[in-house]
């Protein structure tokens, strides 16, 4: 079993680990690879937002962050019936993958473990309680994501 990497971003709600067995710990974030968010190779970070059906939460994340000149944003879903199911191409494109719930992280790892080996995968712990562009959801996706991406002032 790989050693756990130290947290990439200190936060009471955030724990980053190089191992993928997060069920046994109260982690809200997992880094599948032990590296920081890439900044030098490209002036923009490619961020993939993931929920189940790609209907409300992940499209809101995409919409909120596509306005930021430092970010390229996409969204996808883990369910077969998602508007845009997560593909290998989505994962290859992404520098950082932000899953709304731990079940999305587990599904991603179950289906794409090898592709995720060098990716940063974080769980935002945002429940399926919001509609598209709900102001509270937008708030949950703004500052916390900026902190995760290292884009705060």
pTM over 0.85: no
The tens-digit pLDDT sequence of the chain (153 residues) is: 332 233 333 333 333 333 333 333 233 455 554 344 544 455 899 999 999 999 999 999 999 999 999 999 999 999 999 999 999 999 999 999 999 999 999 999 999 999 999 999 999 999 999 999 999 999 999 999 999 999 985
Length of the chain: 153
Backbone angles phi, psi at 138, to 5 degrees: -55, -45
The full set of domain ranges for the chain reads 56-149
Its CATH architecture, for the domain 56-149, is 3-Layer(aba) Sandwich (3.40)
CA 18 to CA 5: how far, in whole Å?
A: 5
Beta strands in the chain (DSSP E): 29-31, 45-51, 71-77, 96-99, 120-123
Q: Token pair 């974030």 is at which residue?
A: 29
């Amino acid at each position: 079993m790989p050693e756990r990497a130290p947290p990439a971003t200190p936060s009471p709600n955030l724990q980053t680990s190089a191992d993928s067995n997060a069920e046994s710990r109260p982690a809200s974030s997992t880094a599948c690879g032990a590296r920081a968010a890439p900044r030098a190779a490209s002036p923009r970070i490619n961020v993939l937002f993931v929920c189940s059906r790609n209907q409300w939460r992940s499209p809101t994340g995409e919409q909120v962050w596509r306005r930021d000149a430092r970010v390229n944003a996409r969204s996808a879903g883990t369910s077969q019936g998602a508007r845009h199911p997560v593909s290998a191409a989505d994962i290859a494109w992404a520098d950082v993958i932000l899953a709304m719930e731990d079940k999305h992280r587990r599904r991603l790892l179950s289906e794409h473990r090898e592709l995720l080996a060098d990716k940063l995968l974080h769980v935002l712990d945002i429940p399926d309680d919001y509609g598209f562009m709900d102001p509270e959801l937008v708030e949950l996706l703004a500052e916390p994501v900026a902190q995760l991406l290292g884009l705060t002032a």
